[in-house]
Amino acid sequence: MNKKVPVIEIKSVEKIYKMGDVEVPALAGVDITIERGEFVAIMGPSGSGKSTAMNMVGCLDVPTRGRILLDGHDISQLGESELAQIRGKKIGFIFQTFNLINSVNAIENVELPMIFQGVPKDERMEKAKKLLELVDLGDRMHHKPTEMSGGQQQRVAVARALANDPEVILADEPTGNLDSKTGREIIELIEGLHKKGKTVIMVTHDETLAKHAERIVRLKDGKVVKEV
């Protein structure tokens, strides 16, 4: 049996934020390994460090101490431009607040990550259309976010997350702003991506939502306190 290859390894990671003369520890020696193709939920109460852990996993920030390996490569000390390139190619983000651009339509929102990767216009438009059809928004492609329901906006966000065919889908409270029925539809969509081979990392405080994951990593006071 082939051993699974870790896609992300967080090794003894500490993160300290400086606020004037005060140092605020957010992570205090965290170790998390996420294997390729896993569906992992990161949980914890407010102030537990789960948002900071998400920033580390998503290459949105670098640690004060420790190492972060993405596909075996140490990204702990890379600059912002290098991290941005890695994010664009390797990681697709789904945020609680959708983070769509209200002044452009659904196709243009989905195209955006491909623009940053230099994909030609015709190619990215064709792919954006296919992704919107994948999330059942074939009839809403030319609508702006302000003309859509919350659930439809989150579907656009899912399509955008898939734009560059990333290895990892990072979902931050993906159903937090949705009603329960729409939330179930979105988590089913995310589960479907996992079944197709995507690595899914979901940050949530919702126990019901976390049960959809294969593994739950619980944080408290900046440390991993339990994995199940």
* pLDDT digits (tens), the chain, 228 positions: 445 669 999 999 999 999 889 999 999 999 999 999 999 999 998 889 998 999 998 988 889 999 999 988 898 888 888 888 888 889 999 998 999 999 999 999 999 999 989 999 999 999 999 999 999 999 999 999 999 999 999 999 999 999 999 999 999 999 999 999 999 999 999 999 999 999 999 999 899 999 999 999 999 999 999 877
Name the nearest CA neighbour of 57 among 184, 178, 167.
167
**Interior angle at CA 204, CA 203 and CA 207, nearest 5:** 135
What pLDDT is attached to residue 78? 86
Q: What is the pLDDT of residue 3?
A: 57
The pTM of the full predicted model, rounded to 2 decimals, is 0.91
Separation of alpha carbons 173 and 48, rounded Å:
15
Q: Name the architecture of domain 6-227.
A: 3-Layer(aba) Sandwich (3.40)
pLDDT at 2: 46
- Asked if 222 contacts 28 with a C-beta cutoff of 8 angstroms, the reply is yes
